Amino acid sequence: MEMLTLGITEEKILVAGVLPFDAGGRIYSYIVPPAMAGKICKGQLVRVPLGNSTRQGVIWSVPEETVYDGGRVRKLRAILQLCQETPVLSPDLLELMAWISAYYAAPLNSVLETVLPVVVRSGVRAVVHKQLRLERHLGEEDFERLKRRAPRQAALYNFLSVQKNASVGKDVALKGLGISPAVCKALVDAGIVGEISETVSRDVYMDGLSECEAVIGLPPVLNPGQQAALDVVCEELATGHFHARLLHGVTGSGKTEVYIGAIREVLRQGGSAIFLVPEVALTPQTVGRLRQRLADMEKRIVVWHSHLSAGERFDAWMAMARGEVRLVVGARSAVFAPLHSLRLIVVDEEHEPSYKQGETPFYHGRDVAVYRAKLDSAVALLGSATPALESLANVHSGKYSLSRLLTRVDDRALPALRIVDMKREVLNTGGGAVLSRQLVEALRARLDRREQSILFLNRRGFSRSMICTKCGFVAGCPHCSLALTYHLAGHRLHCHACGHKEPVPASCPACHSPGIKGRGPGTQKLEDILRELFPVARIMRLDADTMGRKNLFREVLADFRRGRLDILLGTQMLAKGLDFPNVTLVGVVDADLSLHVPDFRAAERTFQLLVQVAGRAGRGDRAGEVFVQTFTPDAAPIQFARRADFDGFFETELEQRKEHAYPPTRHLIRHLFRGRNEDKVKFYAENWVRFFEAKAPGLVEIRGPAACPLERLQDHYRWHAWYFTERVTQVVAQLQILRSQFTFDSDVADIVDVDAIDLG
């Protein structure tokens, strides 16, 4: 904690910089009142006057004492209130926020609101339970006198005296005896009863499901590859300097055990660590394993993600801020955990697009983790079976070091990946079969052997679209440039972009033909097909439509691990990091969904998806098998995935990126323009690009502007321009200056996304 003790005199005054919320991201100077002298430090939450109102803000800077000169300083206003003495943001987080603002072209205020959870400043408070305990025993005469004078006090005394010095909940005791708080207070004031306040921590995943989420058994003995990877990480930790390392290990190679070994070393040295996972759904399994492996160290593990209750988030944040916790596990936003003595940040499945924030500030959790590790002289350990090309490029340039795990634990074989050509399947069956004959037979064989299967289809709903077989009309969203998805529940059409819902039409709205039908299977239809094929099988569907209730995802996975389910089917949430030893079959129902999209990363994402999904099979003692159904069996990413040829794919893909100068050869900045008037959006996008080219000629290569692939979203038309550069910081700084000089219409918003991932 960075404290500044100051002796206030009539000639000297302390001025602090404060970043208020909802104030445009400016840092204002305020006088520190004498009563707060010596209590003020960076990162504290304060209340300050701003204009005609008061705002909460964060102490951004505490400079040295300033000479009171009767001029500008005298006109400054004073801080009104110190909301709590414990800083809610650590000094390294303040530096990190400044970098995010500059690099990602985001107002500092929006960064502050992203980093500091609203529950910390919204009045949520800790849960305090009061306990009662007998502090002084009365003699027989004194007790009889108390019974005559105050029988209710005597009843409470008598109750506590038989508890054998154990504490009893105050609320329980008073309610059970029918005694008022005033009666209790009299005994407390007399020193006969002690009242103890205990803050209750609202920890998550401390329930009956935790047992299934842990990997039961003794800690494994690391194989030579794992031990070598762990040894080099421990050597980097021992230096006390910043290091970034990519751990490239095939699925099932035991990367998590390397992470745990590194975390154990950090905790042994008295440091703290952050463990990032790409999806909230993966936190229970990860926390369960960490709690089991680190049980002997008696360290509390805090969970952090957006699905926590307000109370859980408040307790977790403040425990970290007070230094009571040294290990946090969570999704993207856990990178901002206010831990003390941060020594290690693990980014599991570092290639996942979900690490990229989808709104301002458009930060990438992996890259922010690396920069924070640099600020803290810590180690950033990035792991994946299918690393992002950006990470591999950083290895080749020397920015990252590399460790590789080339074999699975215990030399288990990688699953056999079989390509099913669906063009032939259609010809042989004379129709549009959803499941191939090979996959159906493989599922039946697993059911006979009491083994488990996972089916992956990255499309929710019953049918992907409703189309008229006579005129070709496709039911579309009235607010977005998307086809509506048919959902069997409620017999309605849904837009998965904006949430619009409407009834299924009885006939075609265009030609009034009754031949309007659903086309393209979703997970709901796949579930119906499976139940018809295998009526006695225990089947469960996991997607966004079924996961409404809290902990339902955990309950389903726990049942699957216990063997209470035979087939699990779902969307992309099943593709990442889940570990089920009895799964011997994985089926990818439509491998082409991620391949034929207007995105230069389509091949990379398809390869990563296939390898990751396939990696869910054969993680136990039994061999695994994967069926990939596709209409383009010769596509390069599918063939590279079939051979598990990581190096071949990445080398080929990188050459293609270099040919077109796409990332990672250069950075891509996406400038998005949106508004309700299509002509106006196009006009301002084109005029901005001309203005930018004239004011900063040659600064970047500009492509566009052009209409976005998803041209209309939530009633807003969208155009974008792409800027390619090798100097992000310089370009963003100039971009910000020019944006302030260019006059946009109030109906047109412009958004800058640095290192853009979503190009739709």
Over residues 446-495, the pLDDT tens digits come to 999 999 999 988 876 666 677 887 787 888 888 888 888 888 777 788 88
Domain-ending residue, one of 200, 221, 239: 200
CATH no. for residue 726?
3.30.70.600
Domain with 335, as residue range(s), is 212-409
| Three-state secondary structure of 462-491 | CEEEEEECCCCCECECCCCCCECEEECCCC
Q: Measure Cα distances from 128 to 131, 198, 199, 473, 509 in Å.
A: 10, 5, 4, 61, 60
Of 475, 491, 472, 473, nearest in space to 483 by CA = 475
Helices 151-161, 140-149: axis angle to 10 degrees equals 140
Do residue 218 and residue 318 come from a single domain? yes
Q: Does residue 516 form part of some domain? A: no
Cα separation of 88 and 41, whole Å? 11
Structural domain tally of the chain? Answer: 5
Q: Quickly state the pLDDT bin for 4 (edges 50, 70, 90).
A: very low
Residue 547 confidence (pLDDT): 62
- Tell whether 599 and 688 lie within a shared domain: no
Q: What is the mean pLDDT of residues 586-596?
A: 85
State residue 154's pLDDT score: 86
Query: 500 in a domain, yes or no?
Result: no
One domain for residues 373 and 312:
yes
| pLDDT attached to residue 542 | 82
Most confident range, picked from 516-525, 587-596, 669-678:
669-678
Residue 431 has a pLDDT of: 65
> 216 and 193: one domain?
no
Residue 64 falls inside a structural domain = yes
In-domain check, residue 121: no
Longest dimension (CA), the chain: 100
Domain membership flag for residue 510: no
- pLDDT band at residue 666 under the 50/70/90 scheme: very high
* Same domain, yes or no: 390 and 309: yes
Establish if 575 belongs to a structural domain.
yes
Over 60: is that where the pLDDT of 7 sits? Answer: no
Indicate if 379 and 450 belong to the same structural domain: no
* CATH of residue 437: 3.40.50.300
**Is 452 a member of any domain?**
yes
Say how far apart CA 25 and CA 316 lie, in whole Å.
26
pLDDT band at 718 (very low <50, low <70, confident <90, very high): very high
Strands 401-405 and 243-249: parallel
Give the 3-state secondary structure of residue 182. helix
Lowest mean pLDDT among 75-84, 482-491, 592-601, 716-725: 482-491
The overall average pLDDT reported for the chain is 86
Return the closest-CA partner of residue 32 out of 87, 96, 92, 81.
81
pLDDT digits (tens, 9 = 90+) for 137-161: 888 888 888 888 888 888 888 888 8
How is residue 501 annotated by DSSP?
A: E
- % of the chain surpassing 90 pLDDT: 46
CATH code, domain carrying 67: 3.40.1440
> Is residue 75 domain-shared with residue 48, that is, in the same domain?
yes
The reported pLDDT for the residue numbered 65 is 58
Residues 453 and 585 in one domain: yes
| Helices of type H across 564-635 | 602-614
User: Is 740 found in the same domain as 597?
Assistant: no
pLDDT at 686: 96
Q: What phi and psi, each to the nearest 5 degrees, are found at residue 149?
A: -80, -40
Residues 6+ apart with CB under 8 A from 294: 260, 263, 264, 267, 301, 327
More confident residue, 170 or 165: 170
Statement to judge: residues 76 and 57 lie in one domain = yes
Mark whether 335 and 248 lie in a shared domain: yes
Which of 595, 627, 657 terminates a domain? The answer is 657
Are 545 and 595 found together in one domain? yes
Read off the CATH number of the domain in which 177 is found. Answer: 1.10.10
The helix/strand/coil state of 47 is strand
The residue out of 200, 222, 247 marking a domain boundary is: 200
What pLDDT digit, counting tens, does each position of 271-287 carry?
999 999 998 877 777 88
The values of phi and psi at residue 758, to 5°, are: -85, 115
333 lies in a domain?
yes
pLDDT at site 68: 54
Residue range 351-378: mean pLDDT, rounded: 96
> pLDDT tier at 6 (50, 70, 90 boundaries)?
very low
Average of pLDDT values for 588-606? 86
Output the 3-class SS for 118-175: HHHHCCCCCEEEEEEEECCCCCHHHHHHHHHHCHHHHHHHHHHHCCCCCCEEHHHHHH
User: How high is the pLDDT of residue 425?
Assistant: 84
